[in-house]
Amino acid sequence: MSEYILEMRDVTKRFPGVLALDKAHLKLRPGDVHCLLGENGAGKSTMMKILAGAQPADSGEILIDGTAVQILSPHHAQELGISMIYQEFNLSPYLSVAENIFLGREPRLGKSPFIDWKRMYNDSREILKRIRVDLDVRRPVNELSVAQQQMVEIAKALSVKAKIIVMDEPSATLTEHELAALFDLIRTLRSDGIGLIYISHRLEEVFEIGDQVTVMRDGQHVATKPVSELNREEIIRMMVGRELTEEYPKEFFTRGEERLRVEGLGREGAFSDVSFSLYTGEIVSLTGLVGAGRTEVARAIFGADKITAGRIFLDGKPVEVRSPQDAIKYGIGLLTEDRKNQGLVLGMTVRENTTLASLKKLVKRLFINRKEERSVAEQYVRELQIKTPSVEQVVQNLSGGNQQKVVLAKWLFTQSRVLIFDEPTRGIDVGAKAEIFKLMNALIKKGVAILMISSELPEVLGMCDRVLVMHEGRLAGELTREEASQERIMRLATGMGKAEAA
């Protein structure tokens, strides 16, 4: 018996023009939570795709329990005890929890074609009990929360007797509370001797749950060390390959005039009585727990959803924003939380995405001036340092950080004077994060007012001049940069601020 449950040795994978993996390696012990870190494009996902049997490696070896194996297909990977839990779940929404857990491996009544429902339900309950999750196995999964669906995925992995479980950004869509439950579950799995590979951009989680850390960069293995021997700065340095001077490059400007004011804003069933002002020269953060109504407020200001109460003032004058078109006319831009589904047209090019919101400017006698359009796009590519082979590249092929920059380019080209960033750094690696923050600074310098919605308290504290905290659809409080701390924000966000005030 080998010390390692999984060893990947000298794995190399070449795509046309790119060396995605260059003799990368990874060793996983049973009962370890092994964090795989690296910027986007470092080769983490290629490595995991090879492990899952979704892609073959060009060369290299994979050993499971010390035995060399060839992973031929995803199905084969499953048979070898490897389970993947992706950000987007592979659950069938209208089937029950139990049906999902046993999908494709339903127990039969003897040799008949009929499903042995009793056994399926019992076995499902058994598995859920093992991971201490309380769920009705007959419920369709579309009625479950995202966190609960994740639990079902994990139960599914266990039902195939997985020895190795890979979790790709499992925390991305979870609330704090749900995340705690996930960590409990991971600890249970760990004590059962299962090897976990944990991929995340949030370094705090690495320190909370990880045992080992492997850092990758440019398809190569950089280092593997126990978490206890590392600190945050070291990890970042290994990931970026250089000293990152500042994670939050905050610059201060003098506060100018009021740009945007909302009074008593409300939308039935979502939020109510929200009032605040945005001034030039500052970044204001709107924070709170997931579901507190932050995104809803942003969408309402942007005209994406109808408001049922309240007024919006721009430069002191009341404006009616009934649609995104109106918002764009008034110079309000929204960088949505969900870039892929709401921010970009993935199948279109960098050029086309950049100009989408303000094509009118490029229309000369009915037709779009292609030459001018290209030069506009090229200008933003240079200015924002978007890494793309050309402006004719389809944005689907760009990394998260570069995609976010394309969205930003789109709003810069509309000449936005108010920009709302909804979770601007989600799914973006550390290096690109700092770049986005620097761009925010540059925008403020130009007189743009910025509202930043974020769940990441360190970045809220690092980048903002003022913090607005929402709780259950209302503004629970406002803190200045000096007043703000993680603890005070959390108290307001969980509704304890009021009790304190009362």
Partner 1 sequence: MSAPSDSTHAAQIKRTLLTFGPLVLALILEIVIFEMIGRRQDNPGFASLNTLILVLNQSAVYGVMAVGMTFVIITGGIDLSVGSLVACAGVLCAMFVHWGGGEQVWAWIIIGWIAAVGLGMVAGSVAGLLITWFSIPPFIATLALMSSLRGLGNLATDGKPISPLPEAYNWLGRHPLWGQVPVSVVLLLLILAGGALLLNHTQFGRHVRAIGGNEESARLSGVNVMRVKWLVYVLCGMLTAVAGLILSSRLGSGSPKVGLGDELAVIAAVVVGGTSLSGGRGSIGGTFVGLLVVSVLNSGLTWIGVETFGQQVTLGVVILAAVLLDQLKTRGSAF
Binding site for partner 1 (CB under 8 A): 15-16, 302, 304, 323-325, 327-328, 334, 336, 341-348, 352, 356-360, 363, 366-368, 370, 374, 378, 390-392, 410, 414
Task: Decide whether 218 or 326 has the Cβ nearer to partner 1.
Answer: 326
Rounded to the nearest whole angstrom, what is the least distance from the CB of residue 344 to partner 1 in the complex?
6
Rounded to the nearest whole angstrom, what is the least distance from the CB of residue 325 to partner 1 in the complex?
5
Task: Decide whether 244 or 368 has the Cβ nearer to partner 1.
Answer: 368
Rounded to the nearest whole angstrom, what is the least distance from the CB of residue 450 to partner 1 in the complex?
18
Q: Which helix (H) or strand (E) holds 34?
A: strand 33-37
Rounded to the nearest whole angstrom, what is the least distance from the CB of residue 55 to partner 1 in the complex?
9
Rounded to the nearest whole angstrom, what is the least distance from the CB of residue 359 to partner 1 in the complex?
5
419-to-173, 333, 342 alpha-carbon distances in Å: 23, 5, 16
CA distance 126 to 132: 10
Task: Decide whether 152 or 297 has the Cβ nearer to partner 1.
Answer: 297
Strand order in the sheet with 6-15: 18-28, 6-15, 59-64, 67-69
32-to-44, 57, 226, 334, 341 alpha-carbon distances in Å: 18, 25, 10, 41, 35
Residues 6+ apart with CB under 8 A from 169: 87, 199, 200, 201, 427
Task: Decide whether 400 or 477 has the Cβ nearer to partner 1.
Answer: 400
Rounded to the nearest whole angstrom, what is the least distance from the CB of residue 403 to partner 1 in the complex?
12
Secondary structure string (H, E, C) spanning 186-211: HHHHHHCCCEEEEECCCHHHHHHHCC
Task: Decide whether 413 or 437 has the Cβ nearer to partner 1.
Answer: 413
Rounded to the nearest whole angstrom, what is the least distance from the CB of residue 338 to partner 1 in the complex?
9
Rounded to the nearest whole angstrom, what is the least distance from the CB of residue 341 to partner 1 in the complex?
6
Task: Decide whether 38 or 303 has the Cβ nearer to partner 1.
Answer: 303
Name the residue type at position 447.
G
Report long-range pairs for 490-498 (Cβ below 8 Å, ≥24 apart): 490/457, 492/288, 493/287, 493/288, 493/289, 493/292, 493/469, 494/289, 495/471, 497/469, 497/471, 498/471
**CB of 357 within 8 A of CB of 408?**
no
Task: Decide whether 285 or 336 has the Cβ nearer to partner 1.
Answer: 336
27-to-267, 430, 490 alpha-carbon distances in Å: 52, 24, 38
Task: Decide whether 15 or 94 has the Cβ nearer to partner 1.
Answer: 15
